[in-house]
Structure 1
Amino acid sequence: MAKWTVRAIQVGSIDLDRSAMTHYKGKGERITVPIWCAGATDGVHKVIVDTGIRDLEEYKKAEPGVSQTPAQITTAAIKRIMGWDPEEVEIVINTHLHCDHSGSNKEFKNAKFFVQKKEWEAAFNPLVPEAPFYDKLCYDKSAVNYFQWNFLEGDTEILPGLRVITTPGHTRGHQSAMFDTKDGVVCVSGDICNVAENVNGNLEPNIVVMVPETYESFQRIRQFAHYILPGHEPAIEDGSEKFIPVL
């Protein structure tokens, strides 16, 4: 079975208080964190995990500290790191449908989209603390043709060496992508882990709608993955194939 290559793709930055990532730890310390997508290939298939921001000014309403350079616009960033045009991408996995993870879905006209059915339903009926982060224009019928969607109900193998596992907590239908690489299993975690300290230090991320499930999701990642690309980890370099060890 061919091994996957996974690369980090930066599609923006957010200036914020560190405690927003680590359950109040580091309060008063300002940090700048990236917004990560991932590109992955087994030498045949072209896969993207998460698609970044739809509209910078709109996202500032939820995250005032967000910024994005022209090179970090999702399509430009994927071309820069992976060498792919949007129409070449075959599969898009949305870890969840918050607007910094699904914002550029509309650019991938030929892709099949994979999301948990529970997440799709939650995105159209958000809870109060998560509502500012759901933007229907990222994932409604104006963005993605209904027949491009594949609605999952639990852990699923997408391709050999590529699976998604359910990791609820940050959102009700959150999932993480697991890739079998030459170095071991890489988890592209989305925001169940904003930073590696969440899983390695057992610290909740900034938004949690299901507390017990969050810690169960950390345990699942520790059980399966050797390395992690969290949704906003600052210790990873743009374009890197080197991620944070899961302890």
Structure 2
Amino acid sequence: MKMYLLDYGYTNVDKGIVLTLGQDIGKVVPTPIWGALLDTGKEYVLIDTGMNPIHIKDPNATFIGTDLHGKIVPVMNERNTALECVKACGVSPNSIKYVINTHLHFDHCGGNLFFPNARFVVQKHHYNWATSPKSNCPKRDFLLEGTKWLFVDGDVEFLPKISLILTPGHVPYHQSILIDLGEKKVIIAGDAVSLRESMSDNAPITADNPVDFYASIRKLQSLSRKYQAQLLLSHDQEQWSSLIHAPKQFQ
């Protein structure tokens, strides 16, 4: 199993509103947006697809007219689209068999449109929530004509060496991914853990359900210890800067 970490750009966010509720309000920080390409030897699997390319010309496309306007500002160029990131690894977008979305927020599924041949893998109940009036997920990013969905329910071994882990809290029925790369194991947390500082007890967080959020962190920490797996956080700039990015293979 080979893995490549894809750089989808970043967002400048108001930390105290978007990440650490009530703490550091007004402090603007960059948060990396990224995904992963897996080469299983039999098929290609993509984990998350970053932001919709409309943000290249209009960073405010998603949040204008909302309470988050100016609080989350995407920064990306053509090289940061999921399309170009996959091609930079020498892989045709048409060769992607599965796209696993940790969840359906704009910065995790905005590039779904580039993979018409793929099957899109999400938790069934997360999809039900995301398509309901209760959610803040931009429907333009994932309710695409002809999308082939593959719904899962809870913790499952999706493919050999790729397991999906239910980690609600950030949003209902969020999922993380445990991957066996052979020489090492990793857990792609998604937004179940955005920042390293979120992992401390009673850390300030912004979450749909704080009780579930903390429980999911403990679940991932337990799995990390059990499998000696490296936990990869979704929006931690310090960790992201320390990792090997595509087109080089993750080690």
Q: Percent identity?
A: 27
Measure, in 1, the Cα distance between the counterparts of 2:69 and 2:44: 30
Partner of 1:10: 7
- Asked if residue 188 in structure 1 is aligned to residue 188 in structure 2, the reply is yes
Quote how far apart the aligned CAs of 1:141 are: 4.0
Q: Which 10-residue stretch deviates more, 228-237 or 196-205?
A: 196-205
Aligned equivalents of 2:230, 2:197: Cα separation in 1: 13
Deviations 1:11-34 (A, max 9, x none): 121112333323444444432111
1:135 alignment counterpart? 138
Map 1:104-119 to 2 at 5 A.
Answer: 104-119=111-126
Alpha carbons of 1:84 and 1:173: their partners in 2 closer, same or farther (altered >3 Å)? same
TM-score (norm 2): 0.83
Is structure 2 residue 89 aligned with structure 1 residue 76? no
Specify the code of the residue in structure 2 equivalent to 1:190: G
AA in 1 matched with 2:85: A
Between 5-14 and 114-123, report the one with greater CA deviation.
5-14
The one-letter code sitting in structure 2 at the alignment partner of 1:224 is: L
Paired with 1:153 and 1:7, the residues of 2 have a C-alpha distance of 27
Q: Which amino acid aligns with 2:9?
A: G
Give how far 1:63 is off. 5.8
Q: Cα–Cα, structure 1 residues 186 and 15, in superposed 2: closer, same or farther, change >3 Å?
A: same
Q: CA deviation at 1:149?
A: 0.8
Equivalent-residue separation in structure 1 for 2:214 and 2:175 (angstroms):
14
Inter-CA distance 201–234: structure 2 relative to 1 (3 Å threshold): farther
Change in 2 beyond 3 A, CA 1:200/1:227 = farther
The answer for the alignment partner of 2:50 in structure 1 is: 52
**Any idea what the Cα deviations from partners look like across 1:63-106, whole Å, max 9, x if unmatched?**
642110221112112222x2212101111001001111111112
Q: Which residue of 2 aligns with 1:227?
A: 230
What is the CA–CA distance in structure 2 between the aligned matches of 1:10 and 1:60, rounded to whole Å? 22
- CA–CA distance in 2 between the matches of 1:201 and 1:88? 42
Residue identity in the other structure for 2:151:
F
C-alpha distance in 1 between matches for 2:161 and 2:39: 10
Shift of 1:126: 4.4
Distance 1:125 1:196, change over 3 A: same
SS of the residue corresponding to residue 237 of structure 2 reads: coil
CA contact (8 A) 1:196 1:228 kept: no
In the alignment, is the contact (CA less than 8 A) between 1:14 and 1:63 conserved in 2?
A: no
Q: CA deviation at 1:44?
A: 2.6
State how far apart, in whole Å, the 1-side matches of 2:201 and 2:8 are: 26
Q: Distance in 2 between matches of 1:221 and 1:126?
A: 30
Partners of 2:113 and 2:144 within 8 A in 1:
no
Alpha-carbon separation, structure 2, partners of 1:164 and 1:33: 24
SS at 1:110's partner residue?
A: coil
State TM-score, norm by structure 1: 0.84
